[in-house]
Amino acid sequence: STQPTSTERSWVPLREELRGVEPYGAPQLDVPVQLNVNENPYAPSAAVVEDVAASVARAATTLNRYPDREFTELREGLAAYLGREAGVVVDPAQVWAANGSNEVMLQLLQAFGGPGRTAISFAPTYSMYPEYARDAMTGWVAGRRHEDFSFDLDEARRLVREHRPSVVLLPSPNNPTGTALPHDVIGTLCELVGDDGVVVIDEAYAEFRRAGTPSALELLATADGQGHRNLVVTRTMSKAFALAGARLGYLAAAPELCDALRVVRLPYHLSAVTQATALAALRHADELLGKVEELRAERDRTVAWLEEQGLEVAPSDANFVLFGRFADRQAVWQRLLDDGVLIRVTGPEGWLRVSIGTAAEMQAFRSALTGALAHPT
Ligand code: PMP
């Protein structure tokens, strides 16, 4: 439209670099089938709802007090969960948490980025990363992945040598392509960056990885001197734990790095309600991960079906699939929306991304896309 956005109005005393910038966010449309922001389609079960409600009620009796600033019990719960999930030993002192992994990563940039420093990633990559860098007044450089979305280590070597980044941000599995990073890439990056910076592997979707795909948690520094002390692995309860509404993200890293984040966090940033909710969900991890199992199977079926339609499909270790290519992807997106199916226009030109929903939702997606393919606009 030609209407100026509020950030363009002259009287708003915005930072110069924020002028005219649109706030981030996919459209939140009220349509029957929402497959656009990689949410978990399964609402919490009655058992989870009951446990969350009872835990929040208990927390409510002391809401006149500030919450545990160090979220000790939650750190213990998250460390135990990570240990079980990835088959590694994680100490509570290696865990940090905040309101969504969005906030975790902003804190990482606040602590390890800053004026005169540079963060790098490799496109296509998660579109929030440059915003974290901007908000933490950190330089931003994006290299490229290979055409098939695999990681280009030669490009990475060049970029690290040229820019000496203090933060490397890489999702694995990658959003929006679903591509996981092999261990040797992560290890090489950690060595290239050294003590000049941290390598952040964003495992928001890790629980959806296919059998045989490893977690970067295996590469964390251990007491016996193995692993990489500059490695940070972030996770979230938004996806596998079906808890996007609660806002709980976390990371595992060397205790010294976790300790450094205490300098930039706001006091009591994790509310007592958030801590109680997350702890309740962790008690139901086994049940919730059972649903993840179903979603992984549905993801593999979706990939196979898209391939049968003669489309290009990026192999996925996540709860979404990138597919294409379309001469007019916007038109295909609109056709699906007209049928009540909301997916996402993201990734390189020509590609679309669909989040994995329930079996019924994926059926709706398949029939809508079949219609769109039969009658190209
Ligand atoms: N990292 C990646 C790669 C994501 O796709 C997302 C959510 N879309 C996030 C981090 C942030 O998730 P949250 O803040 O809900 O933990």
* Domains of the chain listed by start with CATH number: 6-43+287-374 (3.90.1150.10), 46-284 (3.40.640.10)
Query: Within 13 A of 308's CA, how many CA atoms are on the CB side?
Result: 9
Q: What is the pTM of this model?
A: 0.96
**Residue 4 clears pLDDT 60, i.e. is over it:** no
Report the chain's mean pLDDT, rounded to a whole number: 95
With a 6 A CB cut-off, is 172 part of the ligand 1 pocket?
no
- Integer Cα distance of 121 and 132 in angstroms: 12
- The answer to whether the complex's ipTM is over 0.90 is yes
User: Which atom number of ligand 1 is nearest to the Cα of residue 103?
Assistant: 14
Compute, in angstroms, the gap from residue 24 CA to the centroid of ligand 1: 13
- Integer Cα distance of 197 and 111 in angstroms: 11
With a 6 A CB cut-off, is 244 part of the ligand 1 pocket?
yes
In testing the pocket of ligand 1, which one of 28, 102, 269 has its CB within 8 Å of the most ligand atoms? 102
Nearest to 166 by CA among 138, 197, 189, 190: 197
In the chain, the largest separation of any two C-alpha atoms, in whole Å, equals: 61
With a 6 A CB cut-off, is 178 part of the ligand 1 pocket?
no
Q: What percent of the chain has pLDDT over 90?
A: 91
pLDDT (tens digit per residue) in 209-226: 999 999 999 999 988 889
With a 6 A CB cut-off, is 173 part of the ligand 1 pocket?
no
What are the beta bridge partners of residue 355?
Answer: 320
Phi/psi of residue 322, nearest 5 degrees = -95, 130
Nearest to 156 by CA among 175, 170, 176: 170
Compute, in angstroms, the gap from residue 287 CA to the centroid of ligand 1: 22
With a 6 A CB cut-off, is 261 part of the ligand 1 pocket?
no
Find the mean pLDDT for residues 88-96. 97
Identify which has the larger pLDDT, 10 or 362.
362
Q: Which of 26-40, 93-107, 182-196, 350-364 has the lowest mean pLDDT?
A: 26-40
Instruction: Give Cβ neighbours of residue 358 (< 8 Å, ≥ 6 apart).
Output: 41, 42, 298
In testing the pocket of ligand 1, which one of 39, 40, 202 has its CB within 8 Å of the most ligand atoms? 202
Closest protein CA for atom 5 of ligand 1: 175
Residue 225 confidence (pLDDT):
85
With a 6 A CB cut-off, is 38 part of the ligand 1 pocket?
yes
- What's the token pair of residue 137? 């007044």
- What's the token pair of residue 371? 């219609």
* 313 secondary structure, DSSP code: E
Residue 151 confidence (pLDDT):
98
Residue 1 confidence (pLDDT):
40
pLDDT tier at 2, thresholds 50, 70, 90: very low
pLDDT (tens digit per residue) in 32-86: 999 999 999 999 999 999 999 999 999 999 999 999 999 999 999 999 999 999 9
Compute, in angstroms, the gap from residue 346 CA to the centroid of ligand 1: 15
The H-assigned helical ranges of 87-123 are 100-112
The H-assigned helical ranges of the chain are 46-60, 72-86, 100-112, 129-135, 153-163, 183-193, 255-264, 272-283, 285-308, 329-338, 359-374
